[in-house]
Amino acid sequence: MKTIIVACSGALATSMVVASKVDRLLKDHKITATIVECRLTEIEEKRDQVDLIITTTNVYRSYGVPTLHGLPFLSGAGVSRVSDEILSYLT
């Protein structure tokens, strides 16, 4: 089973929204995965246990794990592109 981190910079509100939309995307494509919501500051301690990181803000470092910007799930612009990227990493 795959594991995904969805991280935001603050109080987890935006990561909850993005995680919900990613969960729906995965279910629509019959992909089983665990989604972990956290703050950006918590990624480092969790990165060895995940297959993909999705953030709601720009990240200027590498975690050694594929990392995508999840803002399109909040703005609506570019959702299909980032959805395709997520699916390519998990299939």
Answer yes or no: 8 catalytic. Answer: yes
Furthest-apart CA atoms within the chain: distance in Å: 32
Amino acid at 62: S
Dump pLDDT digits (tens) for 53-88.
Answer: 999 998 889 999 999 999 999 999 999 999 999 999
Domain of 46, CATH number, reads 3.40.50.2300
Contact 7, 15 (CB under 8 A): yes
List the catalytic residue out of 8, 33, 52, 54: 8
Domain that residue 39 falls in = 2-90
Number of domains in the chain: 1
DSSP run (H or E) holding 39: strand 33-39
User: Which residues are CB-neighbours of 51 under 8 A, at least 6 positions away?
Assistant: 2, 3, 4, 33, 65, 66, 89, 90
Q: Calculate mean pLDDT across residues 33-46.
A: 94
pTM exceeding the 0.75 threshold for the entire prediction: yes
